[in-house]
Structure 1
């Protein structure tokens, strides 16, 4: 069951717990004077000093008496975190796809961007509400729906998402830095620069993480407004979408699915950053602030990207840059500002670190969720391993960014939306009255077997495959829409899972009992 609200915490009394591996050590550590917990209200330098610079905690549950009481600004941090993490060049580049890859008009792309951002943000905001009430990381919460062993599938897929984001961010950042240097610096060097700075922030953990995200939005917003001012006159918002009506509809569905996937891909990490918030944090506040921060930032970035892409065909300098890379287009968009434009390009490149940090941090937590021995490996070690993996992948795939965008994001969107559907049904149908016992987070015998969830998850994937529209495979149903098909995978996958999970779960509870 959910634990009731509590009185003054040890943190408020000046007795702050350290990370421990068992209950006895945890009890002893509560008398320690150092802390590895983030602060949402203290000045940055006090937060870092108090944290001893490194968060030692991994996936162990943050107990109610270890939480921090926060002020209004502490809750505003929820919004700033997501706004900083997503008002970034990688999302601007994603906005390119509407006009450049699908031949959609600026208006069509803009409408899909707005509604796709809203839907995607709501998915991540929903899982975020579990962070304060449970004290558990998101992939630990998945055990309450998917079961002890099947949840590992979601963990693996989430690691792929987070490291995949690291790869995309590093490629975009590397492309921009290379273009700023007039291609005298290779993209690989730029990739390494982005990866190293990300690694530093994530190794320190949530203390530095929250400080970084608290302020990262400001220079990003300033540079994006400058970008709009200098590039806006070249936006072409009047041209029409290409293709017949059925083809245009199919392209709208496909780009809408991509925009949804990009935002909702944060759902498997939504609770990770809120585990130190007090247990009595209002769910509606967590949901609202997360939705606003993630939804507004992605929406703004997609619209700017769509505007730039709409002018590529009619702006020779942008067309030439487009032949090089997406990052080169962003640098070319600052033409006319001279050296200051180059400086803005550097800020835009380094801004992707704000997007890369949460994913790298959550990937490390994902590795710890895979089993007892990975859990014993310190989170900082997994952070380092993850950064090395996506740096290598980024270097290898640096010339195939659009293919990565179209295929990677769509595939991740399939499983996340299916898992979210199962989670929603578990909560509102089967746990509406009994709730959750968060103390069972590491008790295999008390968690569901997950047979029903696994079956529904796989059936949902069947629906997604039948309706997917990717370069390597187009499902038989997807082929029926327009000249080039439409990516219906999210919608059909969710439908299949939503229909099959409730009866299967009823049977599981009847015959298994949990």
Structure 2
């Protein structure tokens, strides 16, 4: 199959890349609106924004991208986008939590970071492969597993996830700006400023996001190398935390709880992974998509989280964390450089643009996926609403950044786990071996022709139930989580995945046999 504006179907190429039992390309044109048709067919609000669309604002929302409007120009973006998205200052606090909250030594922290990041990145990379194959956004793809209603439930969870990511990011960016100004700029104002800049890119959409993320990581990487140098001058002591580390079951609980946070930092991108490559050609190698996405997540996350774990082995930085959270640590690192250090901190504070932009973009798409009526409002306007919501939430929670981050990331892993499991099993079991024709891509927006979703919803509820009895949070420790000591060990995402994986296949088989969809 060729790619570009003059793309034509090549049956042999299609058959070679996609077995006919897994994919249906029949009536493709009927299922995918051309870019120029979207505004005309979606209603008056779209026509009201015609001037904005003419200036480059993306028109398309959750509508399927037709084959002849796809190209491979952002293939390398699969790598660079994730590098920039995670090479941000909001990734730094994750490694700090290992010693501050879970009493792990540097060696244990690194083991958890490498292992759980690898697992989470693989989950996100799998979801990413579905974007080019279907031309659909992630939450729309989920409808083939859990139906329209189940897809709407996932969309609600994803909206909360992306708002949470954005809120924690702008809090940290605001903290840094306020520290740089010696508290002359109120934290509330700093949060709003950082969030506004991030809004501009996601308002324009897919193309603008890719262009920004392609290059943003370069300067940030240089700054983090400077941090390594400054910290090295203070003196790393990788054995500093060993005497504080717990032993036995308590240590296992600490390791699992921190691992759950690390897993969420990489797997947390799974619900939006297909959103940024659905315009790639369908015949692109799935292996290439998987590898580029996996390395795009693995490299920056291990690099930054490992660096921040090392920072906590420097006594001055550990004391700065106790007094001023993650923002205080970064201010202490650059203090010897005076005004030059403050300038670099300002750049770091705005690095969260790389993080908030895809969050807000995908949050807007998830709002569109909730109800058919919401599709009649352009994605760009939903992005503005998302900005307002997470900015208000950030201002409200501005004094409790680390607590919000640790609790949010831990809980996030629970629903991500059952979401990935049902999409994975649907793809590899049912769309390949049970359902004739696999994916019928013409029905992605049809309530009556998509799966009913009862099996998927019930299986996910089982995942929730087992996550509850296995979780370990400050505000609640489940019976299974309590087996690891006073503060418990969080097995929530692991048990959520296991329960869903066991329950979903037999129920989905019965559902398909009864409803034939």
TM-score by length of 1: 0.90
Aligned to 1:59: 62
Q: Deviations over 1:126-167 (max 9, x none)?
A: 111111111110000010001011211100000001011110
What value does the CA root-mean-square deviation take over the aligned residues?
2.1
Q: CA deviation at 1:52?
A: 3.1
Q: Which moved more, 1:439-448 or 1:253-262?
A: 439-448
Q: Equivalences for 1:470-509 in 2 at 5 Å?
A: 470-509=473-512
Q: Deviations over 1:7-66 (max 9, x none)?
A: 652599xxx9534348989xxxxxxxx997xxxxxxxxxxxxxx7331111111101111
Q: Deviations over 1:397-426 (max 9, x none)?
A: 011112211211111110111111111111
Contact 1:321–1:332 (CA under 8 A) maintained in structure 2: no
Q: Equivalences for 1:371-382 in 2 at 5 Å?
A: 371-382=371-382
Is 1:171 equivalent to 2:153 in the alignment? no
Contact 2:112–2:259 (CA under 8 A) maintained in structure 1: yes
Secondary structure, aligned partner of 2:336: coil
Q: Note the residue ranges of structure 2 that are not aligned, 5 or more in a row.
A: 9-32, 43-50
Cα distance change, pair 376–261 in 1 and its aligned pair in 2 (3 A)? same
1-side partners of 2:509 and 2:57: how far apart?
A: 45
Cα distance change, pair 214–245 in 1 and its aligned pair in 2 (3 A)? same
Aligned to 1:31: none
1-side partners of 2:248 and 2:293: how far apart?
A: 36
Secondary structure, aligned partner of 1:96: helix
1-side partners of 2:465 and 2:253: how far apart?
A: 20
Aligned to 1:279: 282
Q: Deviations over 1:357-408 (max 9, x none)?
A: 1000000001100111111111111000000100010011011112211211
Is 1:9 equivalent to 2:9 in the alignment? no
Q: CA deviation at 1:245?
A: 2.0
Q: CA deviation at 1:225?
A: 0.5
Secondary structure, aligned partner of 2:335: coil
Cα distance change, pair 153–118 in 1 and its aligned pair in 2 (3 A)? same
Q: CA deviation at 1:242?
A: 2.1
Contact 2:131–2:278 (CA under 8 A) maintained in structure 1: yes
Q: Equivalences for 1:357-506 in 2 at 5 Å?
A: 357-433=357-433, 434-506=437-509
1-side partners of 2:505 and 2:224: how far apart?
A: 46
Aligned to 1:20: 37
2-side partners of 1:284 and 1:435: how far apart?
A: 20
2-side partners of 1:7 and 1:176: how far apart?
A: 45
1-side partners of 2:94 and 2:41: how far apart?
A: 49
Q: CA deviation at 1:244?
A: 2.6
Cα distance change, pair 364–19 in 1 and its aligned pair in 2 (3 A)? farther
Q: Equivalences for 1:300-319 in 2 at 5 Å?
A: 300-311=303-314, 314-315=315-316, 319=319
1-side partners of 2:177 and 2:430: how far apart?
A: 51
1-side partners of 2:476 and 2:322: how far apart?
A: 27
Q: Note the residue ranges of structure 1 that are not aligned, 5 or more in a row.
A: 26-33, 37-50
Secondary structure, aligned partner of 2:149: coil
2-side partners of 1:501 and 1:288: how far apart?
A: 28
Contact 1:231–1:334 (CA under 8 A) maintained in structure 2: no
Aligned to 1:189: 189
Q: Equivalences for 1:197-276 in 2 at 5 Å?
A: 197-232=197-232, 233-239=234-240, 240=242, 241-276=244-279
Aligned to 2:140: 140
Contact 2:39–2:59 (CA under 8 A) maintained in structure 1: no
2-side partners of 1:97 and 1:471: how far apart?
A: 14
Contact 2:199–2:384 (CA under 8 A) maintained in structure 1: yes
Paired residues, number: 480
Contact 2:7–2:67 (CA under 8 A) maintained in structure 1: no
TM-score by length of 2: 0.89
1-side partners of 2:178 and 2:431: how far apart?
A: 52
Contact 1:176–1:345 (CA under 8 A) maintained in structure 2: yes
Secondary structure, aligned partner of 1:272: helix
Secondary structure, aligned partner of 1:445: coil
Contact 1:19–1:57 (CA under 8 A) maintained in structure 2: no
Contact 1:20–1:57 (CA under 8 A) maintained in structure 2: no
2-side partners of 1:198 and 1:19: how far apart?
A: 27
Cα distance change, pair 466–19 in 1 and its aligned pair in 2 (3 A)? farther
